[in-house]
Amino acid sequence: MQAPISYFTELTDPRVDRSKYHLMEDIIFITIAAVICGAETWNDIENYGKSKEFWLRQYLQLPNGIPSHDTFNRFFSALDPDEFEQAFLSWIKAISNLTEGDVVSIDGKTICGSREGDSKRAVHIVSAWSKANQLSLGQVKVDEKSNEITAIPKLLNVLALKGCLVTIDAMGCQRDIASSIIEKEADYLLALKGNQGCLEEDAEKVTSSTPFTR
């Protein structure tokens, strides 16, 4: 299996040459390892790097030691998020083993303390969780002027879901989303509430009039 960092070596480094005090691969590896271990802020990532420097040097060059929290912040603020996402998904696909019957749960959540610039709204993401692998298969950011209904198809588009069961809450109970899952050769289980006109009422009538049999 390829080393995790090998999936990120082809990313476009957003820094000018004179500011490349730390290697791009080192910055990315430390960040991913720190976040996996629960880091939530740039300071957390720096502290993780310093506390694990001996271990990190077994895999990284670290010519100038551990980057500062400001370095992590500036680097990822300038990095192309779409390019990074594709590299990250390639890595996840390589280490995960989705099999027929695996349950993939798609859900949205708001990241606390993540307001960007003058925005009054915190960052909201939609992610896909593999029950069998116990890991996130991918995530997409919900545009500020949009909602999960438009973000979910974008996430489905980059996932390999053949043979899986995809579960989504009532927000995802949409014809287009169901069609996207079918196109991926997967099955779906969508929550149904009163956000679909008379559909919930019609479903209740059908199920209540159908006798239960073993």
Assess contact for 93 and 160: CB atoms under 8 A: yes
Whether pTM exceeds 0.75: no
Which one of 91, 107, 130 terminates a domain? 91
Assess contact for 92 and 106: CB atoms under 8 A: no
Kind and range of the H or E run holding 85: helix 81-95
Q: How far apart are CA 163 and CA 21, in angstroms?
A: 46
Q: What is the pLDDT of residue 7?
A: 93
Assess contact for 27 and 79: CB atoms under 8 A: no
Are 115 and 86 within one domain? no
Are 190 and 103 within one domain? yes
Are 122 and 76 within one domain? no
Q: What is the pLDDT of residue 85?
A: 85
In a domain, 210, yes or no: no
Cα 33-34-35 angle, rounded to 5 deg: 95
Are 85 and 103 within one domain? no
In a domain, 206, yes or no: no
Kind and range of the H or E run holding 167: strand 165-168
CATH of the domain at 127: 3.30.420.10
Q: What is the pLDDT of residue 115?
A: 59
Q: What is the pLDDT of residue 1?
A: 60
In a domain, 165, yes or no: yes
Question: Containing domain of residue 127, as a range?
Answer: 98-194
Residue 104's φ and ψ, nearest 5 degrees, are -115, 115
Q: What average pLDDT values come out for the chain (214 residues) when binned by 10 residues?
A: 87 94 97 90 96 96 97 95 88 76 90 59 84 86 82 90 94 93 95 77 75 63
Q: Please name the residues in contact with 60: beta carbons below 8 A apart, sequence gap of 6 or more.
A: 5, 23, 25, 26, 29, 30
Domain count of the chain? 2
Kind and range of the H or E run holding 125: strand 124-130
In a domain, 11, yes or no: yes
